[in-house]
């Protein structure tokens, strides 16, 4: 292999033996893959395990999440974990580059396990218990960020170039599928005892921590650096402010159905944007930046990261929309009580997980041979088609058609995710793999939170126009006093959406048990039955859902085009004397063939 300029051209020898990087031997790389996949799977399961378990959690701590003053706890139990991981993955990836990726990863396993245990020992109830859970979820998210930020870099260090796509594919798909596995796991465990959703991570985490400390070994880094405190603070505060603004934007404000006109929301969005602009200016001047802006001179890294953001933007809110579709409309109309819909929504979404699990490792393995571009771009095109086909389904769809489209979407997203992650990691200089992995993860996690806010906004806008009138007319037609019916119709649509999302009977929430008790038994049974609410929400919800699917399809198509711009198959390489150089376009090593 001859060195040329700032990169070396690598001839891909068919059947060449794979030797793990770092000199640890062939067996070591499989230990790394097994442990990091366990860590990432455990961390991502907890991003969604609470979604299905929330009704049992709130009953367990004796708090009504639908009361206006309690919406904070509802939103932040869901989002605190994702916000923390989004904010910290870049910083912790940079710290891993400086002080040891394995060291940070192992510490993440221990931190995650400790706070999983503390979540199970909640002895308080009411708002104190809810605050305890939110704070412990924040610190659990810190441990998860340590795992996510460093796992891909450790894998890239351990696996040779011709096997990284397969390894990163397994790891990436385990991470994405974990969010869907968590739905089912939460639905199974929470009705037994809500603390089990946190306790289940403790023995797994303890085993993974001991295993990681005993078996994982550090690849020596060439240099250290200084921690970029101004960059860390401006980035963290800016991203948190943006996410807080988006989170509260979907809540009502004054007489408005949403909070986008709230001074607090506008201030958070403006302040967050200003801090991120300041962060970009700081990173261009400090000697050891947290966010390596020069990495964006690598075409494959830039194209892969933007594709990651767009794919997550299209996919992130999908899970919430499908859950509301199933829990609020389809499952009740097919004989399931509202209390049982959270579990069954997770079960009926399993084809999506199956698609991820089937396509990810295979596409990663094939990308090692043929490059990332055809699989990543092709996956996004198929994903866009699946979103458009979902629009053609009636609200009361035949399940086989719904399952096939979920499988199609899962296969497409799996085909994209693994090769795209491998292409990003292969493009990075070895000394910047931790921070590069963290930057890529930040794009993915932040886009998921943005997506949730955007999708919920579309749905609530769709509901706000016609749902209040439908509620008022439907309730008065079945004997509810006009004053009560108009009060129920005046409640924010987000409350109705959250009620369906949590598996509560929305009509009981809207009307109240006292009013229902004074109605004739037949009318009360009809109002609280499994058909009345779905018939009210189906039309308005479908309009918002179609707009959301259009947006998701557009994101996927742009991601496909962006992914195609990454160029052909290549792996970064450099002479030892120029190890700190970050190349621009065309300065990467191309793998022949």
Q: pLDDT for 288-319, tens place per residue?
A: 777 777 888 888 889 999 999 999 888 876 77
Work out the pLDDT band at 574, boundaries 50, 70, 90.
low
Closest to 432 in 3D by CA, of 296, 564, 311: 296
pLDDT of residue 117: 94
Q: 82 with 320: CB under 8 angstroms? A: no
**Structure tokens belonging to residue 532:** 């009345």
Q: Which range, 369-373, 433-437, 498-502, is most confident?
A: 369-373
* 520-563 per-position pLDDT tens digit: 888 888 888 888 888 877 877 887 788 888 989 999 999 999 99
CA angle 447, 450, 451 (to 5 degrees): 85
Cβ-proximal residues to 397 (8 Å cutoff; 6+ apart), any chain: 330
Cβ-proximal residues to 414 (8 Å cutoff; 6+ apart), any chain: 173, 176, 355, 356, 357, 358, 359, 360, 363, 379
- β-bridge mates for residue 256, sequence order: 253
Work out the pLDDT band at 497, boundaries 50, 70, 90.
confident
- β-bridge mates for residue 10, sequence order: 591
Distances, alpha carbon 326 to alpha carbons 179, 501, 502, 528, 533, in Å = 17, 9, 12, 17, 13
Whole-number average pLDDT of the chain: 81
Question: From CA 304, how far away is CA 25, in angstroms rounded?
Answer: 30
Q: 23 with 217: CB under 8 angstroms? A: no
What DSSP element (H or E) covers 60?
helix 26-60
pLDDT of residue 593: 30
| Locus of tokens 């919920």 | 456
pLDDT of residue 199: 92
Above 70 in pLDDT, residue 581?
A: no
Closest to 343 in 3D by CA, of 498, 186, 505, 200: 186
Above 50 in pLDDT, residue 584?
A: no
* Helical H segments across 371-432, by residue range: 373-392, 399-426
Q: What share of the chain is helix, strand, coil (3-state, %, to 5)?
A: 75, 0, 20
Q: 310 with 555: CB under 8 angstroms? A: yes
Above 90 in pLDDT, residue 191?
A: no
| Average pLDDT over every residue of 96-113 | 90
Give the phi and the psi of residue 283 in degrees, each rounded to 5.
-65, -20
Where is average pLDDT lowest: 217-226, 275-284, 306-315, 410-419?
Answer: 217-226
By CB neighbour count within 10 A (0-12 exposed, 13-18 middle, 19+ buried), where does 222 fall?
exposed
Q: 494 with 544: CB under 8 angstroms? A: no
Distances, alpha carbon 162 to alpha carbons 166, 518, 570, in Å = 9, 71, 11
* 218-275 per-position pLDDT tens digit: 877 655 667 778 888 888 888 888 878 877 887 777 777 778 888 998 999 999 999 9
Q: 329 with 386: CB under 8 angstroms? A: no
pLDDT of residue 400: 96
* 5-43 per-position pLDDT tens digit: 333 333 333 333 344 444 455 788 899 999 999 998 888
Work out the pLDDT band at 401, boundaries 50, 70, 90.
very high
Work out the pLDDT band at 2, boundaries 50, 70, 90.
very low
* 347-365 per-position pLDDT tens digit: 898 898 888 888 878 887 8
- β-bridge mates for residue 571, sequence order: 589
* 322-341 per-position pLDDT tens digit: 888 888 889 988 888 877 78
pLDDT of residue 18: 40
Q: CB atoms < 10 A from the CB of 144, how many?
A: 30
pLDDT of residue 561: 93
pLDDT of residue 490: 77
Work out the pLDDT band at 3, boundaries 50, 70, 90.
very low
Rounded to the nearest 10°, the torsion over CA 566, 567, 570, 573 is: -70
**Structure tokens belonging to residue 200:** 């289940």
Question: From CA 165, how far away is CA 152, in angstroms rounded?
Answer: 11
Per-domain residue ranges of the chain:
228-289, 464-538
* 43-79 per-position pLDDT tens digit: 888 877 887 788 889 888 988 777 766 777 877 887 7
């Amino acid at each position: 292999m001859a060195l040329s300029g700032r990169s070396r051209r690598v001839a891909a020898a068919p059947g060449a033996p794979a030797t793990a990087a770092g000199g640890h031997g062939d067996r070591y790389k499989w230990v790394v893959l097994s442990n990091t996949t366990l860590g990432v799977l455990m961390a991502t399961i907890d991003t969604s395990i609470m979604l299905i378990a929330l009704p049992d959690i709130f009953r367990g701590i004796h708090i009504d999440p639908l009361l206006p003053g309690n919406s904070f706890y509802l939103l932040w139990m869901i989002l605190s974990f994702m916000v923390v991981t989004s904010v910290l993955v870049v910083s912790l990836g940079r710290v891993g580059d400086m002080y040891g990726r394995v060291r940070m990863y192992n510490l993440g396993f221990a931190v995650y396990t400790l706070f999983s245990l503390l979540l199970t020992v909640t002895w308080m109830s009411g708002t104190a218990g809810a605050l305890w859970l939110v704070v412990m979820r924040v610190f659990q998210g810190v441990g998860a960020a340590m795992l996510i930020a460093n796992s891909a870099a450790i894998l890239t260090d351990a696996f040779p170039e011709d096997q990284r796509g397969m390894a990163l594919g397994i790891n990436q798909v385990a991470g994405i599928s974990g969010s869907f596995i968590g739905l089912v796991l939460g639905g199974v465990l929470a009705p037994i005892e809500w603390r089990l959703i946190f306790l289940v991570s403790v023995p797994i985490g303890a085993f993974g921590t001991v295993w990681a400390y005993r078996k994982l070994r550090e690849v020596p880094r060439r240099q250290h650096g200084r921690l970029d405190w101004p960059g860390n603070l401006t980035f963290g505060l800016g991203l948190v402010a943006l996410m807080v603004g988006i989170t509260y934007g979907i809540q009502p404000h004054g007489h408005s159905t949403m909070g986008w006109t709230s001074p607090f929301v506008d201030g958070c969005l403006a302040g967050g944007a200003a801090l991120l602009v300041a962060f970009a200016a700081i990173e261009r001047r400090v000697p050891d930046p947290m966010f390596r802006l020069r990495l964006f001179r690598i075409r494959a890294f830039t194209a892969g990261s933007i594709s990651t953001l767009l794919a997550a933007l299209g996919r992130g809110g999908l899970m919430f929309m499908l859950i509301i579709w199933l829990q609020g409309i389809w499952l009740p109309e097919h004989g399931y009580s509202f209390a049982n819909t959270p579990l069954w929504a997770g079960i009926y979404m399993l084809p999506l997980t199956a698609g991820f699990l089937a396509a990810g490792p295979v596409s990663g393995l094939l990308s090692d041979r043929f490059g990332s571009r055809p699989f990543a771009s092709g996956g996004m095109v198929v994903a866009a088609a699946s979103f458009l086909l979902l629009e053609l389904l009636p609200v009361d769809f035949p399940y086989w058609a719904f399952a096939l489209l979920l499988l199609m979407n899962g296969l497409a997203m799996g085909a994209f995710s693994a090769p795209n992650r491998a292409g990003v990691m292969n493009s990075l200089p070895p000394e910047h793999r931790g921070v590069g992995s963290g930057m890529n993860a930040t794009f993915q996690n932040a886009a998921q939170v943005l997506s949730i806010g955007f999708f919920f906004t579309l749905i609530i806008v769709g509901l706000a126009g016609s749902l209040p009138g439908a509620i008022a007319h439907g309730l008065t037609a079945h004997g509810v006093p006009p004053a009560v019916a108009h009060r129920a119709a005046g409640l924010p649509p987000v409350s109705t959406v959250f009620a369906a999302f949590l598996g509560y009977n929305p009509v009981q929430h809207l009307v109240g048990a006292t009013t229902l008790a004074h109605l004739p038994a037949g009318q009360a049974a009809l109002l609280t039955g499994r058909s009345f609410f779905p018939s009210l929400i189906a039309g308005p919800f479908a309009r918002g859902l179609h707009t959301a699917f259009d947006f998701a399809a557009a994101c996927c198509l742009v991601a496909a085009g962006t992914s195609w711009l990454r160029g052909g198959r290549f792996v970064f390489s450099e002479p030892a004397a120029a190890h700190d150089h970050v190349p621009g376009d065309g300065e990467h090593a191309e793998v022949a063939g």
